[in-house]
Structure 1
């Protein structure tokens, strides 16, 4: 059985994703969140670190779980009840957790934005939508009908797409920011796109899309953020010669 060093994998992720350089939300704890005994024989990837996905990782016999949304976003003490069960499962099954939020969103090859654009067949991508002093998304210029773009996005995310048809029937400049970027709709319109693809947004964004004259396509927060963890796990598998598996645990949101 092939074995890789956990510390070597973590160092590679930190360097590749430029974890120390990317500004993230205060609650995000990017990097190794839980360590194991130092060896990795099988990598699992999933969007969210939770009791359910930890159980899936254990069932898959993984000893490293790569996630986009980690365990720590706010104070998580005391470790009682389900949190105690989670801790026990992690320790008893030698399962490490590595989390990468905005660094994984933003990576130009492995990131959620880049991978979603690739899946959609978008070419000639340029930076889009400033967030925390850095560009959080990508944009492309191409002519496609709104209806065809919706069908393409539905096929890529494998599910429902909510459409706010505030813009033109033929899209010409499309911006992409995965996850929950609906609140950035006004900024997206100000940056000149006529169509904005993201995961989810608030109720009030419907009226705002009409007022700003912009199409918005909500593909689901979860569904638009499966791409990065898959790409990162595949990259680690290739680099360190360990198998990997994706653990699908959709939220429907």
Structure 2
């Protein structure tokens, strides 16, 4: 029998959570009492995902976006109260890993996104645990064609800010809401920077820095780490694993 505490300890060690100063607690956030035989993974611990996990008869739910964020009101009322009440009524444990899951060199969001986009020599730009990654396209291509490739890979058409009329070869990326790293990316000499979201100033920065920018979706770029980690846990603990997609256009 495998407990939620054992799974959390395994994940904590694998992802090196102690190295990260994060915006939320990483690890076991809601502890259920029953052993873990069936694990569901998803991006965000929303009511819809929790309801789907209950329907799937999950014993544990593993997500990238959990609860208890810095600056968030502490009382378990309103939306947060309903979410946690649903988990506890169903006796489902909740595990959440944020920055450690972005950064991991194998099961992390950035690594997994790079694999799906077919990027070569993918690596964190500043060494271990750096959230900004770089890699190469197998061959240079126009930015519009790369945007189409990203759309096919993710099933979501990215917003493409075409800053220069030149082929894209070297790419930098960081999943989620990392549009603010565009200046760091440009300083690395890449042709294109890809993240999940976009801000008004991102458009001007891309044009003035001379770098294409792709906003490929916060949710769309962060679907793959939890799936890879879930598969790792399924193999390590001989449990069932199922990823549940809750559509999110952002």
**Fold in common (TM above 0.5):** yes
Alpha-carbon spacing, 1:176–1:81, altered in 2? closer, same or farther (3 Å): closer
In 1, the alpha carbon distance for the partners of 2:165 and 2:100 equals 33
Greater Cα shift, 10-19 or 78-87: 78-87
Instruction: Say whether residues 1:128 and 2:125 are aligned partners.
Output: yes
Question: How far did 1:22 drift?
Answer: 2.3
Quote the residue 1:79 is aligned against.
Answer: 76
Q: Which consecutive aligned stretches of 4+ in structure 1 deviate over 6 angstroms post-superposition?
A: none
Instruction: Say whether residues 1:105 and 2:102 are aligned partners.
Output: yes
Alpha-carbon spacing, 1:129–1:177, altered in 2? closer, same or farther (3 Å): farther
Q: Contact 1:138/1:175 (CA < 8 Å) preserved in 2? A: yes
CA-atom RMSD in angstroms: 1.7
Question: How far did 1:159 drift?
Answer: 1.1
In 2, the alpha carbon distance for the partners of 1:216 and 1:49 equals 29
Q: Which blocks of at least 5 consecutive residues in structure 2 are unaligned?
A: none
In 2, the alpha carbon distance for the partners of 1:8 and 1:78 equals 28
In 2, the alpha carbon distance for the partners of 1:148 and 1:11 equals 43
Quote the residue 1:178 is aligned against.
Answer: 175
Instruction: Say whether residues 1:62 and 2:62 are aligned partners.
Output: no
The equivalent position to 2:21 in structure 1, one of 12, 23, 36, is: 23
Quote the residue 2:114 is aligned against.
Answer: 117
Count of residue correspondences: 247
Q: Which blocks of at least 5 consecutive residues in structure 1 are unaligned?
A: none
Partner SS, residue 111 of structure 2: helix
Partner SS, residue 124 of structure 1: strand
In 1, the alpha carbon distance for the partners of 2:238 and 2:83 equals 28
Question: How far did 1:89 drift?
Answer: 1.5
Instruction: Say whether residues 1:50 and 2:46 are aligned partners.
Output: yes
Q: Contact 1:129/1:191 (CA < 8 Å) preserved in 2? A: no
Partner SS, residue 77 of structure 2: coil
Instruction: Say whether residues 1:150 and 2:147 are aligned partners.
Output: yes
In 2, the alpha carbon distance for the partners of 1:168 and 1:239 equals 48
Alpha-carbon spacing, 1:80–1:97, altered in 2? closer, same or farther (3 Å): same
Greater Cα shift, 61-70 or 141-150: 141-150
Question: How far did 1:191 drift?
Answer: 1.9
Q: Contact 2:34/2:91 (CA < 8 Å) preserved in 1? A: no
Q: Contact 1:4/1:39 (CA < 8 Å) preserved in 2? A: yes
The equivalent position to 1:96 in structure 2, one of 93, 96, 110, is: 93
In 1, the alpha carbon distance for the partners of 2:126 and 2:176 equals 14
In 2, the alpha carbon distance for the partners of 1:237 and 1:134 equals 25
Q: Contact 1:7/1:38 (CA < 8 Å) preserved in 2? A: no
